[in-house]
Chain A
């Protein structure tokens, strides 16, 4: 049926389109379009009222111009007018224009709604269909509000035409997706299910889509649909193709409907019906979904195996993808493994990168101890030619597999060094951090690792990441290979230093640290290294970090005795066991739930699981990049390499966290030394008055604790104070660890908590602190408690936030050391933001609340200069550490950070919204906070703005 003969009356439009097509250049086209736009504009503005036909034609032209990629900013009104025409074609074009060009928040919506309302009421099926289509296409909230209640009745009314029913079902589905709250379940739901029995397969198709979506939300209401769907399916499958007439598609009976029905059945627990296996891919999805029938899984797997060699690329792709899911089921894992050669072959021969990517995914999923060496070797060899887009992911996967299935760690070290050699650029920090963690934790592999990196570094050109690993490992374990004259200390040093000048600043910083470690390990190379440190290129380096390291290390090597050097530069302590940072990175890269859950349980380097009690409870505020904290790469102070880190590392794992989780249980009553600070007002205050001149309150590390809960808060030559804290709603608990760093006793050790002097009266009623001494028995608390040299004492502080506050409590510690009274006061990092509970919300909610908090006093804004490099991940971690939920996809500008949370105090809760806008060019931030209380906004703003 040639179209031109059929009512194609708009000759003006055809002429216009031909004109455009005849335009020789882009300029000519633009010119022609502008001329036409001017023409249409004048017609629309003209005094003479246009008849419906002309309006239709011009609106149609505008549509065409829009499709060519030009913006259309007028004509909407005329299109809306067309809706009220009683000529079908004019109405139709009007609706088309609206559905293509009117976005959902247009101010014309009420006029459009009016047109729709008339058409829905018209009882003319064609008009009703147009109206329903329009609702489904625009799908705005206003439309949903206006019509959501009306459509179900159209759908289930007995006298509605089939075509209208179809439209109504899908229209309802659309509204249910966009504004589910406006489509209430009701008496109609039961009747919708019966549409599955409808004579008209088109109606069944549309209704199945609707029911599937509804059933996913409330399965119970639609349970009756199971039997109807099964009956319908079996009728389709058993019918001769001729019966279904036009619904047969290439000799397959109603494929779309079958797939939809199968999808619907997946909402429910497994029924057993042979007919369900009729459509292969969807059926396999169903089988996977049920994951209960081993034989079926194996059969599915074999079927997929055949697909793997199918001529059709599409099928191979889907087969690889489905097999990935099968590989993670215990029943089919073995069956999947039999296809390993085919998959490896796919990796080598597939021409389409997306198919190869699937093959890599599958290899990763099917890997276990029996085939890990083969798979890792294949992946490594593929990596040499792999597409850049998937290299990083392969690197991560190889690193994880190598670690997970390492039988001996020499293989692991070899694999990772190979990885760096082949794809050094794609080896992220996490990967090489991890190697170092493992080498440090595994005594038996250290010598081998040192030997291997030493050999690898011989290559004339080696990747900087290799140099980092090499520098670190030789710095720690170079002595293990120094006996061999081929790798004598001087040879090692010269090897590293020969590459020094080609490296970036962080690597050079790391190498400097390695050098100072060499001085400790090999006194014989000390003069050589001192010369290097002393050279102008180090001491006067333009980079502050390098300069500082060179100066400090040089001084250290000159003035410190051998003993001190040996203590300061001692071998790094083992790292606490934790989830591999690489796995975390892969998860992040793939999005949650995308990494096949091979073994989500924590896996340890040592392969033992006992440590798991020691691992910290999953704590939202511990940033994912703990490794980065522990390794000296970009840290501003080189000191973090030595004393602080050593003791922090020693301290953390040695204290089992016993009852972090039953925060709400009252502290063991007998064992509490009540230092309710209220009473401190009257009682002789411990620190400031009695001490021999109060010391200054230390707040050096205070601001670090705004966004984290654990760490060292104070340290001098004698004492180190570490904190671990946990907060829930308005309650908090801090574990305080006092470490005696000396070798002699501390006598008369006591501690107390006060508010800082100035605001004493203010803070006291607001924050109640309960000091409970754990390690000393309170009943018989000795008058002269002592802390032995090198020992540690711990205390628990219970905190309750009564109302919002801005002052900070102070921890006073007093003891006698060598006859003198020591007095230390430290600001305790208890700030308002610790009592945050994160709140997730949608973009819509967020902006609604944002607007509600519009009073000027409720908002505090500050603009400040960035103190640290503007790194998105770090900022994310800090905002999370601050205690709020980080909301993605709320702010139209993805570079901005948006957060929401509720501050819990005993008396009240304060909702808080924040927004941080970085400006990388100017290295500035703008921070905006809105809460219902001015004081809260101000305090939070002050705290957070110092963090970036």
Chain B
């Protein structure tokens, strides 16, 4: 699963198969090139190497999944949509900036939703509940810090 902007900046990448770093970079570059070159009305599926690519654009951000031959394209498209819904619900009308500044949160949400490339839970509530619980935990163990200390470290 890749998220990248219209300018070709990678915002999030998640790999569900073991791939060497060099190959990852190459694949990302290649995919971004292919997908960004496509026109708005074109279909969301394309064949690439021995995989199928399913992508969708939301505002300035492309969501892109590579699936195997026997996987279902339409349901993958809905996976993307559900992920966007999750982000949207969590951040409150999500925009690219949210994902840039809170990339770790975006990762956590994706992890709650997909695991090893398979859907873990399709219910918005249960995914977000898990994230909220995590957030609560975070607040508990975060002791207040002085602003100065923060700045000193920055």
Instruction: Mark A residues whose CB is within 8 Å of B.
Output: 1-3, 6-9, 11-12, 14-17, 21, 53-54, 57, 60, 63-64, 67-69, 71, 87-89, 92-93, 96, 100, 103-104, 126, 129, 132-133, 136-137, 139-140, 163, 166-167, 170-171, 173-174, 177-178, 201-202, 205-206, 209, 245-247, 249, 254-257, 259, 263, 281-282, 285, 313-314, 316-318, 351-352, 354-355, 591
Do B101 and A17 touch across chains, with their CB atoms under 8 A apart? yes
Consensus secondary structure, chain A interface: helix
Question: Can you add 11 more A-B contacts, CB < 8 Å, to A87-B141, A104-B18, A167-B115?
Answer: A12-B153, A17-B100, A57-B153, A88-B138, A163-B121, A174-B116, A256-B78, A281-B72, A285-B72, A351-B39, A352-B41
Whether the pair A178, B18 counts as a contact (CB closer than 8 A) is: yes
Query: Scoring B residues 88 to 104 as 1 if CB is less than 8 Å from chain A, else 0, what string do you get?
Result: 00111000001011111
- A89 proximity list for chain B (CB < 8 A): 134, 137-138, 141-142
Q: Is the CB of A209 within 8 A of B45?
A: no
Bound complex: CA of A1 vs CA of B145, how far in Å?
Answer: 23
Instruction: Tell which of A7, A12, A174 has the most Cβ of chain B within 10 Å.
Output: A7
A170 touches B115 (CB 8 A): yes
B20 within 8 A of A: yes
When chains A and B are docked, how far (Å) is the Cα of A122 from the Cα of B80?
Answer: 33
A205 to B122 alpha-carbon distance, docked (Å)? 8
Interface residues of B in 37-54 (CB under 8 A from A): 39, 41-47, 50
Tell whether, in the assembled complex, residue A93 and residue B39 are in contact, meaning their CB atoms are under 8 Å apart: no
The 6 closest A-B pairs by CB, nearest first: A174-B116, A202-B121, A7-B138, A313-B43, A246-B123, A170-B115
Q: How far is the CB of B68 from chain A (nearest CB, A)?
A: 11
Closest to A167 in B: B115
Chain B nearest CB from A467 CB (Å) reads: 36
State whether A249 and B150 are in contact (beta carbons under 8 Å apart), knowing that A202-B122, A257-B122 are contacts in the complex: no
Among B18, B92, B108, which residue has its beta carbon within 8 angstroms of that of A2?
A: B92
Assembly CA distance A11 to B153 (angstroms): 10
Known A-B contacts A92-B108, A173-B116, A202-B121; A259 and B102 likewise in contact (beta carbons under 8 Å): no
- How distant is the Cα of A201 from the Cα of B138 in the complex, in angstroms? 28
B59 at the interface (CB under 8 A from A): no
What residues of chain B lie closer than 8 Å to A57, measured between beta carbons?
Answer: 153
Contact A171 B116 (CB under 8 A): yes
B116-A126 in contact (CB<8A): no
| List of A residues within 8 angstroms of B115 by Cβ | 132-133, 136, 166-167, 170-171, 174, 206
Q: Which residues 102-117 of B have a CB within 8 angstroms of A?
A: 102-105, 107-108, 111, 115-117
> Does B6 belong to the interface (CB within 8 Å)?
no
Report Cα–Cα, A205/B147, bound state, in Å. Answer: 45
A-B contact list, 19 entries, CB within 8 Å: A1-B92, A3-B91, A14-B101, A16-B154, A53-B145, A96-B107, A100-B107, A129-B130, A133-B115, A136-B115, A140-B18, A166-B115, A173-B116, A247-B123, A314-B44, A314-B45, A318-B45, A352-B41, A355-B43
A316: nearest chain-B partner, CB-CB: B43
B36 at interface by CB-CB < 8 Å:
no
Closest B residue to A176 by beta carbon equals B116
Q: How far is the CB of B129 from chain A (nearest CB, A)?
A: 9
Q: Select which of A71, A96, A129, A351 is within 8 A of B104 by beta carbon.
A: A96
A15 to B101: give the CA distance in the assembly, Å: 10
Chain A residues closer than 8 Å to B47, beta-carbon distance: 354
B27 within 8 Å of A by Cβ? no
Contact B100 A256 (CB under 8 A): no
A256 CB contact (under 8 Å) in B50, B119, B137 = B119
B122's contact among A92, A254, A352, by CB below 8 Å, is which?
A: A254
The answer to whether B103 touches A206, judged by C-beta atoms less than 8 angstroms apart, is no
Tell me how far the C-beta of B33 lies from the nearest C-beta in chain A, rounded to whole angstroms.
Answer: 14
Does B122 contact A206, Cβ atoms closer than 8 Å? no
Contact residues of B between 12 and 30, Cβ < 8 Å to A: 12-14, 16, 18, 20-21, 25
In the bound complex, how far is the Cα of B101 from the Cα of A170, in angstroms? 29
Assess whether A12 is in contact with B103, with CB atoms less than 8 Å apart. no
Contact present for B77 and A314 (CB under 8 Å): yes
Please give me the residue from chain A that is nearest to B73 by CB atom. Answer: A318
Q: In the assembled complex, which residues on chain A have CB atoms less than 8 Å from the CB atom of B126? A: 163, 202, 246
| A8 B102 Cβ-Cβ under 8 A | yes
A1 / chain B contacts, CB cutoff of 8 Å: 90-92
Least CB distance from B70 to A in Å reads 8
- A139 close to B116 (CB less than 8 A): yes
CA gap between A166 and B138 in the complex, in Å: 23
- Smallest beta-carbon distance B100→chain A, Å: 6
Of the candidates A7, A69, A126, the one whose C-beta lies within 8 Å of that of B10 is A69
Are B111 and A249 within 8 A (Cβ)?
Answer: no
Docked-complex contact B102 and A67, CB < 8 angstroms: no
Q: Which residues of B contact A64 (CB under 8 A)?
A: 103
Chain A residues positioned under 8 Å from B142 (CB to CB)? 7, 9, 53, 89
- List, in ascending order, chain B residues with CB within 8 A of A173's CB: 116, 118
The answer to whether A139 and B103 have CB atoms under 8 Å apart is no
Q: Which residues of B contact A202 (CB under 8 A)?
A: 120-123, 126
Q: Are B45 and A126 in contact (CB under 8 A)?
A: no
* Max count, chain B CB within 10 A of own CB: residue among A60, A249, A355: A249
Contact indicator per residue, chain B 124-136, by CB within 8 Å of chain A (1) or not (0): 1110001001111
- With a cutoff of 8 Å between Cβ atoms, the chain B residues found around residue A54 in the complex are 153
A316 CB, nearest partner CB in chain B, Å = 7
